[in-house]
Structure 1
Amino acid sequence: MTLSAPAMSLKDKLHAYIQLTRFDKPVGIELLLWPTLWGVMLAAMSAAQSEGLSAGLPALKILTIFALGAIFMRAAGCAINDFADRKVDGFVTRTKGRPLADGRLSGKEAVGAFVVLSLISASLLFFLPVSVFYWSLGAVALAFIYPFMKRYTHLPQVFLAAAFGWAIPMAYVAIAGAPDIWCWLLFMAYMCWTVAYDTQYAMADRADDLQVGIKSTAILFGRFDIVMIALLQTAFLLLMGVVMWHYFVPTSLSVAPVFGLALVAMMFAKQNRACATQMPMACFRAFLDNVWVGRYLFVVIAMVCVWSTFSAT
């Protein structure tokens, strides 16, 4: 006669759900949150400029809704990611302790968490124009399919970037009425940055991924991984420079915010020196350092938007 495993306590179950949704690892939340808020701030600038004003700020309600949406959708994406990877995470050193891999949660529980978190995010749409709802369907679809793409393509990082970045056009729809060319340039900049840092993340797991058959840009780029990351980071800097030039040069601060991107370039150089060692932990730490890029650029964008708005009054 075999004994069944003891039932988990409520505390242990809650801890497993926190690990499933990565609320214990806020870096991932920030990597989605800060660029979402870039989009909200710049969408308000776009709306103001369309009305003949030099600058404008978003309503606090809009900032709060998009911040909460980013947090909940990131958690939902983690849940469905672990569901997709439940049969391989146990063979990867870094992920073998995840709650689906070690049996603390079931696949049904992970899907349930994805649905609940997606519904919570969807409830926030009641406070936004109905047109934002239709755009949000793209975000949900991308968040759901991304984890499965690593079975079929070496470009799952592109799907992740699109899923994370979809909040940017949603912000423009909510605030400015529709995306414009500057919205899409910001979206493309974010795509380049996300593919770059998620390639660093994939470099940390490359040996295990090759063994279990998971595809990634780290595997696709091979010995050119650092070169490709640097090119993507350069594209990000150029696109962000163009967007910031458009919004901020007409303000009283002129080109100063654009030159602020030099600090981001130095951050990227430090990351690439670490990744050049090809050591998994060095690559993972480089990935984590990207949170400072998001924080820094949010501070720059927010400060310039506030300064420009109040100096114009």
Structure 2
Amino acid sequence: MSADSDASDIRSEGMIVQLTPPILRPYVYLMRLDRPYGAWLLLLPCWWSIALASQGTWPNVWFLVLFGLGAFIMRGAGCVMNDIADRDFDGRVARTANRPIPSGQVTIKRALAFLIFLGLLGCAILVQFNTFAIGVGVLSLVTVVIYPYMKRFTYWPQVFLGLSFNWGALLGWAAVQGSLGAAPGTLYAAGILWTLGYDTIYAHQDKEDDILIGIKSTALRLGNATRGWLVFFYGGCLALIALSGGLAGLSWAFYPALIPAALQLAWQVASVDIHNPKSCLLRFKSNRDFGLLVFAAMVVGQVLG
């Protein structure tokens, strides 16, 4: 398929792209720094968990900063790994044909070298935490490696994305508490359901191309029944977030503070048009707002009441 600049998810505007020297721009595109929403979705479960583990105080600001840097770096590494794995498929999809690897801007060898560089940066951040948290962080690599290949074998690759993208729900708690327990485990399950919802919406953008090239997704599996499943995914997510707050001992103030987040998800379900890619992309991006609302509710539950 020839690259269509109108359909492509590569955009030349934006401050980050404009400030980057041309020779480095393919690597900005490769790690999706021009589109940070995925990094937010990786980061927010980390922030939730840090807030949940704070035991009646404000979250550790230094930990929030470290996890922020780590999320953007490791999301970038995940994108590089995904693009290496999907290089033969991406060149056949209008939205992804202009990405650096299928378009020839970055070779596989250079992409692998860049992946190693990002991995080393991620390790440098991880070792700032306690030994238990380092071990939890290393275990996340299993999910990172598995996910890019799941769309070849199952209509539920979003489950494996959820396992990877929400690992921070475990790691944030481990960094604060030096242990794990029911509260972070419940939060992790909530995050997986959240990912099933937002990434099913996202996958509806590519369903026609996915059918042609043989890629599987929940968008194809659920089809026109998607809205009902979104109610299940998002409803389960909210219930488990509320339960995790109770298990962590958050005050009564957490629950009314969680209402705006619930309304945000309800808006997504009620308004999304799964046959309109622009509608799907807007609702997908809005999940950053949902995540920030949950984080705010957890902070309220720690410091009020």
CA displacement 1:125-164 (0-9 Å, x = unmatched):
2221122222122212211221111112222111111111
User: Which region of structure 1 is more displaced relative to structure 2, 172-181 or 272-281?
Assistant: 272-281
Report what 1:109 is aligned to. Answer: 110
Report what 1:85 is aligned to. Answer: 86
Report what 1:284 is aligned to. Answer: 281
The amino acid that maps onto 1:290 is N
8 Å CA contact 2:50–2:60 kept in 1: the answer is: no
- What SS is found at the alignment partner of 1:104? coil
8 Å CA contact 2:48–2:298 kept in 1: the answer is: yes
Report what 1:219 is aligned to. Answer: 220
- What SS is found at the alignment partner of 1:91? coil
8 Å CA contact 1:248–1:257 kept in 2: the answer is: no
The amino acid that maps onto 1:273 is A
* Structure 2 counterpart of 1:274, from 254, 271, 275: 271
CA displacement 1:166-189 (0-9 Å, x = unmatched):
122122222212111111111101
CA displacement 1:109-137 (0-9 Å, x = unmatched):
22222221111111122221122222122
**Matching of residues 127-138 of structure 1 within 5 Å:** 127-138=128-139
Gaps of 5+ in 1: 1-9, 46-54, 309-313
Report what 2:294 is aligned to. Answer: 297
**Number of matched pairs:** 286
8 Å CA contact 2:132–2:179 kept in 1: the answer is: no
Residue 262 of structure 1 deviates from its aligned partner by 2.7
1: CA distance, partners of 2:264 / 2:304: 26
Residue 211 of structure 1 deviates from its aligned partner by 0.7
C-alpha RMSD over aligned residues? 1.9
1: CA distance, partners of 2:64 / 2:281: 30
CA displacement 1:181-216 (0-9 Å, x = unmatched):
111111101110011101111011111111111111
* Structure 1 counterpart of 2:43, from 33, 50, 54: 33
1: CA distance, partners of 2:224 / 2:190: 24
Residue 58 of structure 1 deviates from its aligned partner by 4.2
CA displacement 1:233-288 (0-9 Å, x = unmatched):
00011111222234455x3xx2x321233322322232223334521221121111
Report what 1:52 is aligned to. Answer: none
8 Å CA contact 2:46–2:171 kept in 1: the answer is: no
Report what 1:51 is aligned to. Answer: none
Gaps of 5+ in 2: 1-19
The amino acid that maps onto 1:41 is A
Report what 1:20 is aligned to. Answer: 30
- What SS is found at the alignment partner of 1:204? coil
2: CA distance, partners of 1:185 / 1:129: 22
8 Å CA contact 1:41–1:57 kept in 2: the answer is: yes
1:42 aligns with 2:52: yes
2: CA distance, partners of 1:70 / 1:25: 13
User: Which region of structure 1 is more displaced relative to structure 2, 18-27 or 164-173?
Assistant: 164-173
2: CA distance, partners of 1:240 / 1:83: 34
**Matching of residues 1-313 of structure 1 within 5 Å:** 11-45=21-55, 55-247=56-248, 251=251, 254=252, 256-307=253-304
1: CA distance, partners of 2:165 / 2:275: 27
8 Å CA contact 1:13–1:104 kept in 2: the answer is: no
2: CA distance, partners of 1:307 / 1:16: 46
Report what 1:311 is aligned to. Answer: none
TM-score (normalizing by structure 1): 0.85
Structure that is richer in helix per residue = 1
CA displacement 1:288-310 (0-9 Å, x = unmatched):
111110121222222443446xx
Q: In percent, how many aligned pairs have the same letter?
A: 32
2: CA distance, partners of 1:247 / 1:178: 13
8 Å CA contact 2:201–2:274 kept in 1: the answer is: no
